[in-house]
Chain A
Amino acid sequence: MAARGVAGMADTNGHIDSDEPHTDDGASGSGPSLVGRAMRGVARQVQSRIPRADLDERDPDFIRERLPLMWLAASLWYRGEVRGLGNIPDDGPVLMVGNHSGGNMTPDTVVFTLAFNTYFGVERAFYQLAHNLVLSMPGLGSLRRFGTVAASPANARKALQAGAALLVYPGGDYEVHRPFWARNRVDFDGRKGFIRLALQENVPIVPVVSIGGHETALFLTRGEGLARLLALDRLFRLKVLPISLALPWGLNVGDMLGHLPLPAKITIETLPPIDLKAEFGPDPDVDEIYDHLIRLMQDTLDALADERRLPVIG
């Protein structure tokens, strides 16, 4: 199914909070076992595959030629509905902050990326931050031509300084693999790096709230304990080893190969921009902004949830 390919291409679940250098020395405590050594080897491979952010890799013609495919996936498979794009400032840098759903297939990113590109035109520079693992995955190289860059504070800053619109999912892998019963909850896991970034770069934040993406499979658990046990957090910056029931696998551990998402209806609401210094004073408190933003996005998500009659169907 075409939808699956597209969903995979636009798979972004990055966050920009982790300031620690991603070296593998943290795993040395696990002893010089064969498995440990093998894992560190893979981790080094992954590290070497993480592309350096090159904003020039974004290719407007490439994106334009894929709009019909994305349109098919977004319109037919997900019956996508994106509201309030007019809230995004017409030009200049802007930090769009979204809640993240749907496991590694991240269906709402497909719907939003299409909507943004058709609304503002492929001429407008638009980047998305994605988890390192996503970009180092073989076969997902074309994502970079869509404007997807590896999640790091430096890359985010570079995009904003270039005057681009930047989409981040602060909740990252933590939020995207939350269990199904928490599907209508905004959960950034306390990550606030994006707020510091917006303050430093003096750019407005536009909250992007979406619903439906987390009804594309039955997500059971993040598997944080399992991830810690296997030292995935230290090796791959991966805090989770999610377990779900998903097509076509049935029981799906890790979601590394993705899955066939159910055709759940996805609704996305873009909120008015927040000028942090105007609303929170010249020396704003990061925690206050974080709490405000979470509350605002949760209220919006609650309203969207009230509109919905049934999961998947919408």
Chain B
Amino acid sequence: MRATAAATISAPIETVWDVVSDPERALSFMSGVTRWESDGDGPAGLGARYRMLLRVGSAEVGGLIEVVEWNPPKELAWTSITGVDQRGRWRLRSLAAGRTQAEIRLAAGVPGSGVTGWIAERIAQPIVSSHLRTTVAQLRRLVENERMRTQAAARRSARGAHAG
């Protein structure tokens, strides 16, 4: 089973990267994710491990994952250590006029589960797909809102400086 979703965000690539690479923020925009916490005290980056769960149907599926690609501000990929087999990736690309293309990909399955695994993957695919679409939409909203507010705060303090 593989699913993917993408969105164009009106913010520079570094701003988007700061959000998708911060494990503490995963729960605030990743749809269906019920758990995303660091396993150990190590810094974020290559080799960092997280415990994550995604609600699919009647189960929360996931397990321990490890970051296997960390290429700021463009690529972040992870693979599963325990739980169902999964491979996920954030792929960010700079567009013109300070905009960013953000794409999330997820491939998952249970090797050896035969026909039932095949059927389950077919049925899970649209559910995961919809979670990913919501995730990039929420990411876009989060990043753009935050950017608007920092810009507004900057304008306010600039006005304050003039007045003073």
Residues in A lying within 8 Å of B, measured CB to CB: 2, 61, 64-69, 71-72, 74-76, 78-82, 85, 111, 114-115, 118-119, 121, 123
Q: For B61, what are the chain A residues with a Cβ–Cβ distance below 8 Å?
A: 118
Report the minimal beta-carbon distance from B107 to chain A, rounded to whole angstroms: 15
CB-CB contacts below 8 Å: B144-161 with A: none
Q: Are B120 and A68 in contact (CB under 8 A)?
A: yes
Q: Which 10 pairs show the lowest CB-CB distances between chains A and B?
A: A75-B57, A80-B58, A68-B120, A69-B116, A68-B117, A75-B58, A74-B58, A118-B59, A68-B113, A65-B112
Q: Are A81 and B120 in contact (CB under 8 A)?
A: no
Q: For B124, what are the chain A residues with a Cβ–Cβ distance below 8 Å?
A: 71
Known: A65-B110, A67-B84, A121-B82. A114 touches B59 (CB 8 A): yes
Q: For A78, what are the chain B residues with a Cβ–Cβ distance below 8 Å?
A: 58
19 contacts between A and B (CB under 8 A): A64-B110, A65-B110, A65-B112, A66-B113, A67-B59, A67-B84, A68-B113, A71-B58, A72-B116, A75-B57, A80-B58, A114-B58, A114-B59, A118-B53, A118-B60, A118-B61, A118-B84, A119-B53, A121-B64
A266 to B58, CA, bound (A): 10
A-B Cβ contacts below 8 A, count? 76
Q: Are A118 and B113 in contact (CB under 8 A)?
A: no
Q: For B62, what are the chain A residues with a Cβ–Cβ distance below 8 Å?
A: 118
A64 to B117, CA, bound (A): 11
Q: For B84, what are the chain A residues with a Cβ–Cβ distance below 8 Å?
A: 67, 118
Most A C-beta atoms less than 10 A away, residue of B113, B116, B120, B121: B116
Across the interface, A72 reaches (CB within 8 A) one of B82, B112, B123, namely: B123
Q: For A66, what are the chain B residues with a Cβ–Cβ distance below 8 Å?
A: 113, 116
Q: For A2, what are the chain B residues with a Cβ–Cβ distance below 8 Å?
A: 116
Report the minimal beta-carbon distance from B83 to chain A, rounded to whole angstroms: 6
Taking the complex as formed, is B163 at the interface, i.e. its CB lies under 8 A from any CB of chain A? Answer: no
Taking the complex as formed, is B97 at the interface, i.e. its CB lies under 8 A from any CB of chain A? Answer: no
A312 to B58, CA, bound (A): 16
Taking the complex as formed, is B96 at the interface, i.e. its CB lies under 8 A from any CB of chain A? Answer: no
Cβ-closest chain A residue relative to B117: A68
CB-CB contacts below 8 Å: B20-64 with A: 53, 56-64
A115 to B62, CA, bound (A): 11
Report the minimal beta-carbon distance from B43 to chain A, rounded to whole angstroms: 23
Across the interface, A74 reaches (CB within 8 A) one of B59, B63, B83, namely: B59
Cβ-closest chain A residue relative to B63: A121
Known: A74-B58, A82-B58. A118 touches B121 (CB 8 A): no
